[in-house]
């Protein structure tokens, strides 16, 4: 009888050490942050934008995290406690993960697909879930029905955070003030699994107007502001998504004309600070770039008609302006509609322009998120399914690259290049970093007096 692969997760046996800050960290002080948006709730949920992801990282902790090179690492530690001082037990992890498995998102669907009994549990056909159980108060067992190559990474998704029965988190900061969508305040959690943060307090405020946000950073009212130079990671892929079911983009030649009309070198190489021109749909840290597909050199083809372009508010204005100019040069009459990053993923318009950052920086999961943006070609789905079954890491990455290229070759999702997710402002801030999910990490951050 075949023994299914399984993983036993102790709560938890690793006590991670703090990396030293470059200039010598100090405890104390307050950090003020300015972001484009904040979530409507602090409950664990999929987070499309950097604001909700940052909030989740401040308040919550996941069972596993990911190292900078994408490997699973302990999130919680032995004898961890929640903000309400209750101990983190295996039953809390199981309860939280059961809720996660029935919630929205690619990561939840992927984990359910791979766990024993997961598909029936997610569809609510059954309440039994043999693939997720406790051994004792400190050990959680996951039994996989398929190779678990990407499945452990799903446990690092923001929506997979572990909470107490009362909803308390275990993240580095205890929320003391929360105005939905507007403000979040937190104090350092002395019981955090990786040690108390250096900062005493964090204050976060949302500024939906990018001009107002930049002004706050310029006059020093916030210490770090999204979009300003400082700490960054090349985590965002700027994507132009065409609806292949609607004219004129129902014709492959029209999609190819749009892809060929955009000057990536000028757009991402010169206009976006730190940008990387590329037709790839994911950052090179996730999948190795491959040669551009045939058709990017297609001759100029005039197009006609009125179309709507939904532009995510986290796309730099210079990018949307240049893309609009390219579309107009093709002969299209374009109506621009600004939308939130979450709405940009599903907006019903002929075109969408978004800065895509995967919720979990793992190649298969990130590619699955991209596949959700437009009707995928069968070849891409076939390669992705083969990658799910593959146990050899090198062959698995090769299959994912083939799926990526099949999707890119369809022309409905046009990669313009990669852009950094940036936070900057006052020079008194040290030790902050941006991870592969575009999340500002403040556990090691400190401020000068």
Token reading at 192: 């955090």
* Rounded average pLDDT over 390-399: 93
Token pair 């709507």 is at which residue?
308
Query: What CATH number has the domain bearing residue 33?
Result: 3.40.190.10
- Strands 440-441 and 201-206 come out as unpaired
Higher-pLDDT residue of 188, 134: 188
Residue 69 shares a structural domain with residue 157:
yes
pLDDT of residue 71: 63
Mean pLDDT (the chain) is 90
Instruction: Report how many domains make up the chain.
Output: 2
pLDDT band at 16 (very low <50, low <70, confident <90, very high): very low
* pLDDT tens-digit readout, 119-177: 999 999 999 999 999 988 888 899 998 877 778 999 999 999 999 999 999 999 999 99
pTM of the model: 0.90
Per mean pLDDT, which range of 7-16, 87-96, 162-171, 259-268 is the poorest? 7-16
Domain that includes residue 431, residue range: 6-15+27-223+426-447
Decide if pLDDT at 22 tops 50.
no
pLDDT of residue 294: 56
How are strands ordered across the β-sheet holding 139-143? Answer: 6-10, 139-143, 132-136
pLDDT band at 8 (very low <50, low <70, confident <90, very high): low
Structural domain contains residue 149: yes
What residues pair up with 277 in beta bridges, in sequence order?
A: 417
CA distance 176 to 307: 46
* Rounded average pLDDT over 101-126: 96
Token pair 């949920």 is at which residue?
45
Residue 437 shares a structural domain with residue 394:
no
Which pairs from 383-392 meet CB under 8 Å and 24+ separation?
A: 388/146, 388/147, 388/149, 388/150, 388/364, 389/146, 389/147, 390/147, 390/149, 391/147, 391/149
DSSP string of 177-241, one letter each residue: EEETTTEEEEEE-TT-TT---S-SEEEEEE--SHHHHHHHHHTTSSSEEETSSEEEEEEEEEEEE
Residue 366 shares a structural domain with residue 263:
yes
pLDDT of residue 77: 67
Structural domain contains residue 21: no
Decide if pLDDT at 5 tops 80.
no
Handedness of CA 326, 328, 331, 335 (dihedral sign): positive
pLDDT of residue 75: 62
* Rounded average pLDDT over 361-365: 95
Decide if pLDDT at 66 tops 90.
no
Decide if pLDDT at 265 tops 80.
yes
Structural domain contains residue 1: no
Structural domain contains residue 136: yes
Residue 279 shares a structural domain with residue 412:
yes
Query: What CATH number has the domain bearing residue 251?
Result: 3.10.105.10
Residue 216 shares a structural domain with residue 243:
no
Residue 381 shares a structural domain with residue 431:
no
Higher-pLDDT residue of 22, 73: 73
Token reading at 67: 């190292």
pLDDT of residue 138: 86
Structural domain contains residue 37: yes
* Rounded average pLDDT over 363-378: 96
pLDDT of residue 139: 87
Residue 175 shares a structural domain with residue 268:
no
Decide if pLDDT at 273 tops 80.
yes
pLDDT of residue 32: 98
Residue 250 shares a structural domain with residue 203:
no
Structural domain contains residue 22: no
* pLDDT tens-digit readout, 404-416: 999 999 999 999 9
3-state secondary structure of 394: helix
pLDDT of residue 74: 65
């Amino acid at each position: 009888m075949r023994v299914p692969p399984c993983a036993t997760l102790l709560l938890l046996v690793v006590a991670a050490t703090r990396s030293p800050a470059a200039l010598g960290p100090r405890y104390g002080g307050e950090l003020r942050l300015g972001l484009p948006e904040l979530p409507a709730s602090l409950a664990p949920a999929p987070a499309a934008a950097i604001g909700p992801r940052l909030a989740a990282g401040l308040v919550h902790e996941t069972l596993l995290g990911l190292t900078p090179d994408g490997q699973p690492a302990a999130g919680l530690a032995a004898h961890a406690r929640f903000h309400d001082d209750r101990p983190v037990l295996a039953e809390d992890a199981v309860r939280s993960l059961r809720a996660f498995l029935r919630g929205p998102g690619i990561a939840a669907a992927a984990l359910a697909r791979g766990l024993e009994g997961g598909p029936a549990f997610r569809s609510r056909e059954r309440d039994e879930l043999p693939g997720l159980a406790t051994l004792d108060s400190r050990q959680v067992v996951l039994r996989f029905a398929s190779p678990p190559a990407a499945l452990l990474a799903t446990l690092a998704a923001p929506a997979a955070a572990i909470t107490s029965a009362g909803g308390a988190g275990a993240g580095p900061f205890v929320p003391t003030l929360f105005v939905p969508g507007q403000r979040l305040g937190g104090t350092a959690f002395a019981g955090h699994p990786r040690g108390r943060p250096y900062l005493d307090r964090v204050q976060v405020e949302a500024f939906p107007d990018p001009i107002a946000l930049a002004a706050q950073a310029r006059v020093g009212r916030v210490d770090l502001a999204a979009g300003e130079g400082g700490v960054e990671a090349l985590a965002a892929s700027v994507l132009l998504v065409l609806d292949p079911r609607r004219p004129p983009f129902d014709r492959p030649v029209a999609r190819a004309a749009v892809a060929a009309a955009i000057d990536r070198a000028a757009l991402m190489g010169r206009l976006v600070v730190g940008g990387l021109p590329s037709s790839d749909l994911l950052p090179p840290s996730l999948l190795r770039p491959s040669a551009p597909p045939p058709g990017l050199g297609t001759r100029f083809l005039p197009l006609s008609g009125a179309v709507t372009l939904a532009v995510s508010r986290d796309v730099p204005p210079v990018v949307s302006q240049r893309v609009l100019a390219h579309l107009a040069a093709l002969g299209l009459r374009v109506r621009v509609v600004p939308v939130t990053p979450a709405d940009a993923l599903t907006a019903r318009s002929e075109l969408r322009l978004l800065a895509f950052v995967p919720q979990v920086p793992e190649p298969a999961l990130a590619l699955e998120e991209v596949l959700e943006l437009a009707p995928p070609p069968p070849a891409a789905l076939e390669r992705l399914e083969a990658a799910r079954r593959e146990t050899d890491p090198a062959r698995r990455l090769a299959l994912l690259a083939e799926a990526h290229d099949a999707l890119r070759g369809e022309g409905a999702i046009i990669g313009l290049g990669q852009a950094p997710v940036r936070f900057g402002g006052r020079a008194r801030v040290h030790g902050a970093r941006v991870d592969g999910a575009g999340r500002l990490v403040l556990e090691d951050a400190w401020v000068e007096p």
